[in-house]
Amino acid sequence: MSQKRAEVPGPLDAFRQFFSLQRDVMVLSLAMFAFSLGFQMTNRFLPEYLFYLGATGFVVGVFATLGNVIGAVYPYYGGVVSDRVGSRYALTVFGFLSTFGFGIWLAANYVPATDLGVIVLEPWVWIFVGLLLAQCWKSFGIGGHYAIVKQATEPNRLARGFASTETFRRTAFLIAPLIVAVLVADQLMPGFLWVLVLGIVFALFGTFVQHWLYEADEDTVGKEFQGFGQIVDDLRALPAALRPLLVADTFIRFANGMVYAFFILVITQVFEIGLTATLPVVGTIDLSPAAFFAVLLSIEMLVALLTMAPAAKLAERVGLKPIVGLGFFVYAAFPILLIFTPQFVAAADQTWLLIALFAFSGLRFAGLPAHKALIVGPAERGAGGRVTGSYYFVRGAIVIPSGVLGGFLWQFVDPEVSFTIASVVGLIGVAYFAIYGQEFDAYR
């Protein structure tokens, strides 16, 4: 009995697994933790910041599409830089560029509209410029993360290896929104400006940590990506087992890309729901809708942290496919649930319903370690980064227009239509994966 209890995984087991991995995994994950604090404190709230600076719903959609372009293109260009200067210095350069991007977001609030004669350069334009820089480190870190975890983990424990690093990194996703909730408790501004200041601080910290502690002598991160010249060969060499996953994942991510940037606007503009509660010692708190959204993100991530390690362990018994399928289903179902279900409950119950919905949304992360293991597992050892880069490039390229489509439907049709179409597209991906998705041999 005691032995069985010892085998039950939990979040602390994921942390212990993390600290048993190679030094490079630990150092890069620590840097990811710092950058994740900065990204999670800022990115999810930028759509509301854009509205504050005078943007429209369609502009928010274009902003989301630019993020998709960056996610598709940057890993390959990042690899070119890494090949030339080495992964350590490449990561440092991208870290400083990301920090500068956070600074541009902060400065946008203080830049007045500029009349150029033909057009007026609105302050929200600088949010686009900042995004081009702020996403540098995050986008390049994808392939490196996959490759070094594959090098450090046994094939039949890949999901657990990713669960350990994801748990550590996504702890930042739990903490960051709580910081935002405190700073924007009354209203988004001016608290969000302090959020951006903290984002700069965390990005600088992550940059210095990885530069001084990351030992790149034995890693292969700098050799994994060969730039666009290799993309055709990489796609042809993509393991057959990945193709059904890639198709399904693309449907899911396209659906998510249509609505992801608008989740905060559903809370702050469609329903305008805040949070009023009486807590022991603290007393009564009254949070603005933006601050309540931050709390919802933390609840979502708390569920994710509690379920990722058990789900990764469960995958070793039932296989990766069922766990990945569960995550896909949550991705697909969440948009339509979010936009419609609050309308069918009393106003007093809407707050608790939203808490339950975001807790449900946290289950999509339970399948994330298994998903990553299913991507990198079939790759040959030493090619994990290249396979990952190819996979993400194709997925990212197809998903690029999703943000613009979602923004168009949001502004010119109806938010409910946008979210409904997103869920339908996502459910097509779920069905495709259920029928054609393949299992990784090491988990059979």
Virtual CA dihedral for 373, 376, 381, 387, nearest 10 degrees?
A: -170
Quickly state the pLDDT bin for 140 (edges 50, 70, 90): low
pLDDT of residue 366: 83
Quickly state the pLDDT bin for 150 (edges 50, 70, 90): low
pLDDT of residue 374: 79
- How far is Cα 390 from Cα 287, in angstroms, rounded to an integer? 43
Per-residue pLDDT tens over the stretch 268-280 = 999 999 988 777 7
pLDDT of residue 145: 54
Q: Is the pLDDT of residue 3 over 70?
A: no
Q: What percent of the chain has pLDDT over 90?
A: 43
What is the three-class DSSP state of 184?
coil
Mean pLDDT of the 13-41 span = 69
- How far is Cα 90 from Cα 104, in angstroms, rounded to an integer? 21
Per-residue pLDDT tens over the stretch 107-129 = 999 999 888 878 888 999 999 99
Q: Dihedral sign, CA of 223, 224, 230, 234?
A: positive
- How far is Cα 402 from Cα 429, in angstroms, rounded to an integer? 15
Instruction: Calculate the average pLDDT of the chain.
Output: 81
Per-residue pLDDT tens over the stretch 333-384 = 999 999 999 988 888 789 999 999 999 999 988 888 788 777 766 554 444 4
Residue length of the chain: 444
Homologous superfamily of the 23-216+227-443 domain (CATH):
MFS general substrate transporter like domains (1.20.1250.20)
Least confident of 73-77, 168-172, 334-338, 396-400: 73-77
Task: Find all residues with CB under 8 Å of 380, minimum gap 6, and list them.
Answer: none
Q: For residues 243 and 105, which has the higher predicted lDDT (pLDDT)?
A: 105
Which of 237, 260, 263, 255 is closest to 388 using CA atoms?
Answer: 237
Q: DSSP class of residue 220?
A: -
What is the three-class DSSP state of 32?
helix
pLDDT of residue 210: 77
- How far is Cα 28 from Cα 9, in angstroms, rounded to an integer? 24
pLDDT of residue 441: 54
Distances (CA, A) of 229 to 70, 76, 217, 234: 18, 10, 26, 10
Distances (CA, A) of 442 to 155, 164, 242, 249: 6, 19, 14, 21
